[in-house]
Amino acid sequence: MDQSETPYLDALVRYASTDPGRFNIPGHKGGAGADPGLRAAIGDVALRLDIPSGIEGIDVGADPLEIPFQQAQRLAAEAWGARRSWFLLNGASGGNHAICMALAHLGTDAVVQRNVHSSVIDGLVLSGLRPLFVAPEIDDDLGVAHCVMPAMLDRALAERPDAVAAFIVSPTYFGAVADVAGLAAVAHAHDVPLVVDESWGAHLAFSDLLPSNALECGADVVLSSVHKLGGSMTQSAILHVGADAAHPRGRVDEALVDRSVTLVESTSPNSLLGASLDAARRHNATLGGALLAETIGSLRELRREIREIPGLDVLGEEITKSDSVHAWDPLRVSIDVRGTGVTGNRIARFLRERHDIWFELYSANVVVAVFGIGENVAETGGRLLAGLRAASAELHDDPDGKREPFAPLPPWGPTEMTPRQAFLGPQETVAFDAAEGRIAAESLAAYPPGVPNVLPGERLSRATLDFIADSIAHGGQVRGASDRTLETVRVVIE
Ligand SMILES: Cc1ncc(COP(=O)(O)O)c(C=O)c1O
């Protein structure tokens, strides 16, 4: 196939250029009926390309091979090395929901990495799957979770022989990449598919300077949140099924995945998001190697300069010394702020309020800046450096020069019932402070990074409640809670 082509994007542009009689939705009719403020903000061109589904010659037609939308998905499969790929227009979150629904067809149990994204937990609620959680390696010094090791997965799969799949996440927010080939070998030895949430690794397929992507390592189902570091528009992602010669329809049957994607997707998929995926795929497939090499080279220099700022260090290749970290993705600049005497939360707030600089993630010890393909690091990195230098010079006014106390990452509570049973079962609302010892009926994920601290079905411990309260006091938010102020929390009536 010709990776320099963008069949879906081109089909939309062609259609809009004919000035079709629009007696269908969307009701803004290519912009004419849209609010003038929106027209001025995003332009009539974007509104003209906002085209509904079910248009002959764009996403329907007699010959599937000739339908531009299908051609675009096939090009994506080829570019990422998949057997088949689906465009997801409800984010990688929708992908995780679809994956869980597909796995629930295979059986009732799955081994799941405990620090998966909250959308996987929502998928467990939707599907009813009974998870056996496998803990990642924790870096206690930095207070961050890394990856799952093959030996850990092996033990978990032996403990739960009824498991129908192993579900892991790699890379992590901090750029730690798991030994996916080793994990795939373990999963396959137990005769189950390996699912990898590779949301943060859409770019890995396009540069030899980066760790191998999960499909190349033998993963069976892979989720790629292309909008994160792959250059498509927010809320667009791709789900892939691996090309395994021994399983011609995929270890998880592609027909099952197809049905599950349809189940969770809107009947009105946004054409602009789909077009952005088609275009991002071309951009990565044709120019990715050169652009990524440039970005990676400039980031090497940026890391060196950040390390020279008093109190700051940058996580680099050395995180691969951790047992569970097989490789490292340099597109994340994870800044260790422990030497400054203040927390990452405080530094992130300072940079936001004083320098209009926004991080992807911040925690007690680390702030994470992400860089995209083709970014002019000399320019954007210079701005970051100036902000960090100011933070290092100005922020050391904590009492006794010590960092604000921050609750330690607590151990995860015991699982008493499935996420679905807890989410749907009898429940009541209790004061947050009185919830110790109760079973949570909702998931609580201190954001950033959105990895649930509490899952529906887990017993709440004092340490976990303190950690979440502390995280909010330091400027974080909580996703999943029905009471966003967290004065109350929903718990199961036992
Ligand atoms: C590992 C992981 N998976 C899935 C998601 C959900 O992605 P989206 O925001 O595209 O729905 C995220 C979001 O941050 C994530 O970090």
CATH code: domain of residue 394: 3.90.1150.10
Output 361 or 187, whichever has higher pLDDT.
187
Please check whether residue 37 lies inside any domain of the structure.
yes
pLDDT at 166 over 60: yes
Both tokens assigned to 454: 């509490």
pLDDT of residue 467: 84
pLDDT at 46 over 80: yes
Distance CA 415, CA 408 (A): 21
Distance 279 CA to ligand 1 centre (A): 21
Q: Is the CB of 351 under 6 A from ligand 1?
A: no
- Name the domain boundary from 233, 251, 280: 280
**pLDDT-derived band at 360, boundaries 50, 70, 90:** very high
Statement to judge: residues 42 and 189 lie in one domain: yes
Query: Which range among 124-128, 138-142, 384-388, 447-451 shows the weakest confidence by mean pLDDT?
Result: 447-451
pLDDT tens string 426-462: 999 999 999 999 999 998 877 655 567 889 999 999 9
Query: Which range among 46-55, 146-155, 197-206, 473-482 shows the weakest confidence by mean pLDDT?
Result: 473-482
pLDDT tens string 68-124: 999 999 999 999 999 999 999 999 999 999 999 999 999 999 999 998 998 999 999
- Name the domain boundary from 280, 310, 334: 280
Output 479 or 333, whichever has higher pLDDT.
333
Question: Ligand 1: which of 122, 170, 177, 228 to mutate, judged by most atoms within 8 Å of the beta carbon?
Answer: 228
Class of residue 191 by CB neighbours under 10 A (exposed 0-12, middle 13-18, buried 19+): exposed
pLDDT at 400 over 60: no
Statement to judge: residues 423 and 395 lie in one domain: no
Show Cβ contacts of residue 474 under 8 Å, excluding neighbours closer than 6 positions. Answer: 343, 345, 346, 364, 404, 406
Q: Is the CB of 91 under 6 A from ligand 1?
A: yes
Phi-psi group of 426: left, alpha or beta (phi > 0 → left; psi -120 to 50 → alpha; rest → beta)? beta
Statement to judge: residues 101 and 179 lie in one domain: yes
Please check whether residue 288 lies inside any domain of the structure.
no
Q: Which of 237, 328, 317 is nearest to 280 (CA)?
A: 237
Statement to judge: residues 65 and 187 lie in one domain: yes
Statement to judge: residues 425 and 483 lie in one domain: yes
pLDDT of residue 447: 60
pLDDT of residue 394: 93
Q: Is the CB of 236 under 6 A from ligand 1?
A: no
pLDDT at 195 over 60: yes
Do 49 and 272 form a contact (C-beta atoms < 8 A)? Answer: yes
CATH of the domain at 479: 3.90.100.10
Q: Considering the chain, what percentage of its residues have pLDDT values greater than 70?
A: 96
pLDDT at 326 over 70: yes
pLDDT at 414 over 50: yes
pLDDT at 401 over 50: no
pLDDT tens string 8-37: 999 999 999 999 999 999 999 999 999 999
Distance 117 CA to ligand 1 centre (A): 6
Distance 457 CA to ligand 1 centre (A): 22
**pLDDT-derived band at 179, boundaries 50, 70, 90:** very high
- Could you give the number of structural domains in the chain? 3
Distance 410 CA to ligand 1 centre (A): 23
Distance 48 CA to ligand 1 centre (A): 29
pLDDT of residue 403: 56
Q: Is the CB of 95 under 6 A from ligand 1?
A: no
Output 150 or 361, whichever has higher pLDDT.
150
**pLDDT-derived band at 408, boundaries 50, 70, 90:** low
Distance CA 446, CA 195 (A): 25
What does the pLDDT average to over 143-152? 91
pLDDT of residue 449: 56
What does the pLDDT average to over 55-60? 96
User: From residue 405, how far is each of 342, 345, 365, 396, 468 by CA, in Å?
Assistant: 10, 12, 11, 14, 14
Distance CA 198, CA 327 (A): 14
User: From residue 115, how far is each of 47, 100, 112, 408 by CA, in Å?
Assistant: 39, 16, 9, 16
Segment holding 156, helix H or strand E: helix 150-159
What is the residue range of 312's domain?
Answer: 295-401
What does the pLDDT average to over 323-350? 93
Distance 92 CA to ligand 1 centre (A): 5
For tokens 């499935």, the residue is 418
Mean pLDDT across the chain, nearest whole number? 92
pLDDT at 127 over 70: yes
CATH of the domain at 217: 3.40.640.10
Statement to judge: residues 23 and 88 lie in one domain: yes
Q: What ligand 1 atom has the least distance to the C-alpha of 116?
A: 1
